[in-house]
Amino acid sequence: MLKNYAFVKTSIHTVGMTLKSPPLASIPGISDASQACDKISARLRYGIIPRPEGVNRLNAILWLARMREAGIHGQSSATAHELGRLNVLLGQVSGVLKHAGFTGDGRPRVHRL
């Protein structure tokens, strides 16, 4: 679990720092994603594991921004490519959280039959 926690924490931090970089910070809607990422990152600092749904919500915001950028500048633009890379990373984070089977408060999920 520690390896997964470290991956989630560093990935969310990487996404947050990338969203604050100059080319991406000027895109409409990125400030909302950056604030959501900061909120998840702050909770991770206190040991609160995020729910996969929260990461998926952040991923959806970035995907929408990516589609807007691809519509304006084309799919081969650097910003669309960077947003796509962040989408993949957040998808991996969501997968790790789903596979780990933890809820947002750190308790294991109970699977009822």
Asked if residue 67 belongs to a domain, the reply is: yes
Q: How far apart are CA 34 and CA 24, in angstroms?
A: 10
Q: pTM value?
A: 0.84
Whether 27 is in a domain gets the answer: yes
Which structural domain range is residue 41 located in? Answer: 2-100
Q: Confirm whether 113 is domain-assigned.
A: no
How long is the chain?
A: 113
The answer to whether the beta carbons of residues 51 and 104 sit under 8 Å apart is yes
How many structural domains is the chain composed of? 1
Residues 11 and 19: their CA atoms lie apart, in Å, by: 12
- 30 inside domain: yes
Asked, for residue 80, whether it belongs to a domain, the answer is: yes
**Residue 73 within a domain:** yes
Residue 26 counted as domain residue: yes
pLDDT of the chain, 113 residues: tens digit per residue: 667 888 999 999 999 999 999 889 988 889 989 999 999 999 999 988 888 999 999 999 999 999 999 999 888 889 999 999 999 999 999 999 888 765 555 555 554 54
Q: What is the DSSP string of the chain?
A: -HHHHHHHHHHHHHHHHHHTSHHHHTSTTHHHHHHHHHHHHHHHHTTPPPPHHHHHHHHHHHHHHHHHHHHHH-TTSHHHHHHHHHHHHHHHHHHHHHHHTB-TTSPBPP---
Contact criterion met (CB below 8 Å) for 27 and 65? yes
Residue 24 · residue 66 · CB < 8 Å:
no
Q: Is residue 31 part of a domain?
A: yes
